[in-house]
Amino acid sequence: YLVWFCVGFISGIFLWLVLPCLENIPFSVSWGYSLIFLIIMAVLMLAVPCLAQKTLTPFADRVLILVILTGLISGIFRIYYEDNISHRALEDTFGTEHTYTGYVISEPTPSSTGKTNGITVNVTMAKSKDNEIKLSDKVHIYVDSALDINRGDIIEFTTIFSKPAGASFRGGFSYRNNLYKDRCRTSGYVPDIKNTGERFEKFNLSYWLHTIGVSVQKGVLNSMDKYIGGHEEENALVKGILFGNKTDFSMEQYSNFANSGLIHITAASGMHVSFLCGFLYYLLRRLWIKRKIAYFMTFPFLILFAAAAGFTPSILRAVIMTGVHILACIIQREPDSL
């Protein structure tokens, strides 16, 4: 039942994200679409195993349909809440001048012009002349490159945000979709910013893990700069292979790798996770550590590597699938299609 609830939950998320007609209608109307989708899914997923194996009684069938329906509605409501309730408070500030307070959650990244740095901020408060709004959302802002702003700094800035335009550039690139992929709701240039001098000290699991990962990545990259910094192209390539860090790539070097089809080796993904997992497992087994214990000891290193690589989507999905594989190797149960 738990597995089938997860099937319904994931299907609900998929339904809400895939069907554009559900994006701008009231939540109550989506229940009708949910029921139609449930009927189709029930026929496909329940009819075949029930008729072929007769492993479920009619009563269990009805319970299973109820479980899937519950999971489906839960998945739809999860996305509905994330997109239409959680972010509504921030979007209510769009179009008017507000003073935002938040903490920096990314290292400053130089823009293509070099005159500004891009930083991601988790805003916690918005003040205007009339009211004060508590927030919990991410925005991407551009600041003067001369400003000393670092990850963890609590800052204040005054600006007018707006919803990012949905137009795509040549090649299909959409800036709005790129922002949403990084879970940022908007972006803009902020000419005047105040560093309060305070640091974000509250415990936040994702922020804490990312902080450890950034420290690991910085330590490795600084060592590389120290020992092979004189070989700029080789140094940039190794940084890309290890962590997907392409900041030191020259335009010519990046173009050469992109045109040759080898740019994917500089994007930390499944290949990196597979090599790391295989090497760690081999090393632990050579130290005469039992197989199951070796599997358990491998996974924390994968989490640390994901943090050092910045928790990019490609790394996250690779670590999740590797974790599923490790779990399967530990459990060693016979497969059951139902």
Beta-carbon contacts of residue 258 (< 8 Å; ≥ 6 apart):
none
Place of tokens 């479980």: 67
- Report DSSP state, residue 82: I
Please answer whether residues 3 and 65 qualify as being in contact, where contact means their C-beta atoms are separated by less than 8 angstroms. no
Give the type of residue at 281: Y
Phi-psi region of 270 (alpha: psi -120 to 50; beta: other; left: phi over 0): alpha
DSSP string, 143-158: EETTS---TTEEEEEE
Q: What are phi and psi of 168, to 5 degrees?
A: -100, 145
Res 55: pLDDT:
53
**CB-count burial class (<10 Å; 0-12, 13-18, 19+) for 296:** middle
CA–CA dist 147, 108 (Å, integer): 10
CA–CA dist 180, 157 (Å, integer): 22
Beta-carbon contacts of residue 328 (< 8 Å; ≥ 6 apart):
none
Look at residues 44, 157, 161, 37 and name the one whose alpha carbon lies nearest to residue 96. Answer: 161
Q: pTM, whole model, 2 decimals?
A: 0.60
CA–CA dist 17, 177 (Å, integer): 13
| Mean pLDDT (10-residue bins), the chain, 338 residues | 79 68 54 67 62 54 74 75 69 89 87 83 88 86 88 92 73 72 84 87 79 86 84 86 82 86 83 90 91 89 87 86 86 68
